[in-house]
Chain A
């Protein structure tokens, strides 16, 4: 089902730095907050300035009562750098909610997220009201503010950092087979680097449970029109990450 879409100016309520180059922006946008589903995203546009195209950002939090949306994003290039310089009171334009979100019809999902991929999983965890556990991967302890963010919404969290400065050392997915062993989970919901999601999908398959992944591709329109973000699907058709995704069942897009 497609959600109604809006293109609106939204006021920035807060902008905080969470770690080096990582920010949380909260905006007032009741229309989008009212209908957004976990896994859907917005195309954020800078008003004025020298950035032309919108940038896709997953929705990290949507507070329906307050009418607010939050985004957690890493500064990579000119667009995200410009976002990080905006102060409360400034406006951005949001096009959204876009795409299809995660399956909500699960009893005990295990969330697997790496880096900024944890952002849409936060919204999902919150909607699951403690029924989900989360396995998190990050570069180093400095980036693991995520543990605090997830704590109120998940029942257990597991963690790995590339340098071992917090949690286990190495890739988060290496912990996955052990977590899936007990047969406690009914699905794996993954968002992060593609290689991480591919491995998570393989392990879920080996454990006999379904897996959803959220793909990331450069996109321009966000509406399925420009075909910047299309990918090959396993059945030989082409899928648009912005419109058919960004969330797919792993077997739809991974061989």
Chain B
């Protein structure tokens, strides 16, 4: 690899490449170590972590849709204590940027989690205010600009790490949300989380998913994600991490052109465990072919004529 070209920096985090992996789709990174050089990734956004362990939703948790999938995992995770004591030490040898995705049920809990995770080995925290699969909180913070801003403030108060806020697409005005969290001090914005959806079994007349509704992801959401990244990037100064349906380097290039400073790969990891590596190689070749000296030369360069 011809280093340099893809090297970048985002909200104070130095990254070997601008390609990250999206929370909930890549475990803690170690599950993919046989397929991906984790140190080449811009970061691994690890599975959504909560104050207490969560067992997640009962019943069927995934369903394939045309060009995508629905999930209602419901934030199953071992809780922050186990993450800090067992998981994080295990991740050290991989030399990757560990970005911890956190979910709270109250504003204060985001502060508590942020403080607990202000430890060596954590590169940044990503606030998930938009998980559609948990009834307590989540979506409420993600759809109300004031609530989302207060979550950012709580986290910023208790940590020195960069704070990334992850936006939900399930809102009327994504720009309003983005401006609110930027004003509250978010160091970066990531988007999009999954779109709320559902499926019904026509033979049993029952919902396919145990939680009835779930989050839609994969190639089918890419046009929506791209549009939202474009709208947000034009209206905020903080960097944007774009995600939603990215499965190839070509998809990634579109997100950079729309204004993303980095991208994250989600559902595509399930289809191809080395998707992120393939995207890194493809991006590098593209930059060489276009004779560009840095990925930054692509960011926000869509030409509307």
Which residues of chain B have C-beta atoms less than 8 A from A243's C-beta? 31
Interface size on A, residues (CB 8 A): 28
Judge whether A223 and B32 touch: CB under 8 Å: yes
Q: Which residue of chain A has the shortest Cβ distance to B66 in the bound complex?
A: A50
| Mask of A87-130 contacts with B, CB within 8 angstroms, 1/0 | 00000010100000000000000000000000000000000000
Which residues of chain A have C-beta atoms less than 8 A from B76's C-beta? 227, 230, 238
CA–CA, A46 and B18, complex, Å:
29
Which residues of chain B have C-beta atoms less than 8 A from A52's C-beta? 64, 67-69, 218-219, 267, 271
A225 close to chain B: CB less than 8 A: yes
Judge whether A53 and B32 touch: CB under 8 Å: no
A75 close to chain B: CB less than 8 A: no
Judge whether A218 and B60 touch: CB under 8 Å: yes
Judge whether B35 and A225 touch: CB under 8 Å: no
B153 close to chain A: CB less than 8 A: no
Judge whether A50 and B67 touch: CB under 8 Å: yes
B281 close to chain A: CB less than 8 A: no
CA–CA, A132 and B64, complex, Å:
38
A228 close to chain B: CB less than 8 A: yes
Which residues of chain A have C-beta atoms less than 8 A from B55's C-beta? 232, 238
The B interface, classified by DSSP as helix, strand, loop or mixed, is loop
Which residues of chain A have C-beta atoms less than 8 A from B34's C-beta? 4-5
The segment out of B21-29, B118-126, B170-178 that lies at the interface is B21-29
Chain B nearest CB, measured from A221 CB (Å)? 5
In this complex, the member of A53, A79, A226 whose beta carbon has the largest number of chain B beta carbons within 10 angstroms is A226
| Mask of A221-255 contacts with B, CB within 8 angstroms, 1/0 | 10111111110100000100001000000000000
Q: Which residue of chain B has the shortest Cβ distance to A223 in the bound complex?
A: B31
How many residue-residue contacts, CB under 8 A, span A and B?
Answer: 83
Task: Pick the residue among A50, A93, A221, A228 that contacts B61 (CB under 8 A).
Answer: A228
CA–CA, A230 and B71, complex, Å:
13
CA–CA, A53 and B268, complex, Å:
9
Q: Which residue of chain A has the shortest Cβ distance to B67 in the bound complex?
A: A52
Which residues of chain B have C-beta atoms less than 8 A from A93's C-beta? 272
Which residues of chain A have C-beta atoms less than 8 A from B62's C-beta? 53, 218-220, 226, 228
Q: Which residue of chain A has the shortest Cβ distance to B72 in the bound complex?
A: A228
Judge whether A225 and B271 touch: CB under 8 Å: no
Task: Pick the residue among A4, A79, A221 that contacts B269 (CB under 8 A).
Answer: A221
Contact flag A220-B270 (CB < 8 Å), given A52-B219, A226-B24, A238-B55:
yes
A7 close to chain B: CB less than 8 A: yes
CB under 8 Å from chain A, chain B span 202-239: 218-219
Which residues of chain B have C-beta atoms less than 8 A from A226's C-beta? 24-25, 27, 62, 71, 73, 270
Judge whether B270 and A53 touch: CB under 8 Å: yes
Judge whether A224 and B31 touch: CB under 8 Å: yes
A28 close to chain B: CB less than 8 A: no
Chain A nearest CB, measured from B71 CB (Å)? 7
How large, as a class, is the contact surface on chain B?
A: 20 to 34
Judge whether B274 and A228 touch: CB under 8 Å: no
CB under 8 Å from chain B, chain A span 185-210: none
Contact flag A45-B271 (CB < 8 Å), given A223-B27, A225-B31:
yes
Which residues of chain A have C-beta atoms less than 8 A from B69's C-beta? 52-53, 220
Contact flag A225-B67 (CB < 8 Å), given A7-B272, A218-B62, A230-B56:
no
B296 close to chain A: CB less than 8 A: no
Which residues of chain A have C-beta atoms less than 8 A from B24's C-beta? 226-227
CA–CA, A52 and B242, complex, Å:
21
Q: Which residue of chain A has the shortest Cβ distance to B218 in the bound complex?
A: A52
Contact flag A225-B269 (CB < 8 Å), given A7-B35, A7-B274:
yes
CB under 8 Å from chain B, chain A span 168-199: none
CB under 8 Å from chain A, chain B span 68-82: 68-69, 71, 73, 76
CB under 8 Å from chain A, chain B span 35-78: 35, 47, 55-56, 60-64, 66-69, 71, 73, 76
CA–CA, A141 and B283, complex, Å:
56
Which residues of chain B have C-beta atoms less than 8 A from A225's C-beta? 25-27, 31-32, 47, 269
B300 close to chain A: CB less than 8 A: no
Which residues of chain B have C-beta atoms less than 8 A from A4's C-beta? 34
A81 close to chain B: CB less than 8 A: no
Which residues of chain B have C-beta atoms less than 8 A from A54's C-beta? 270-271
CA–CA, A218 and B69, complex, Å:
12
CA–CA, A53 and B64, complex, Å:
7
Chain B nearest CB, measured from A24 CB (Å)? 24
Interchain residue pairs A-B with the least CB separation, the first 7: A225-B27, A225-B31, A220-B270, A228-B62, A223-B31, A228-B61, A221-B270
A-B contact pairs, 11 of them (CB 8 A): A7-B35, A45-B272, A51-B64, A79-B64, A220-B69, A224-B27, A225-B25, A225-B26, A227-B61, A238-B55, A238-B76
Residues of B within 8 A of A (CB): 24-27, 31-32, 34-35, 47, 55-56, 60-64, 66-69, 71, 73, 76, 218-219, 267, 269-274
5 more contacts with CB within 8 A, not counting A7-B272, A53-B271, are A52-B69, A225-B27, A226-B25, A227-B61, A228-B61
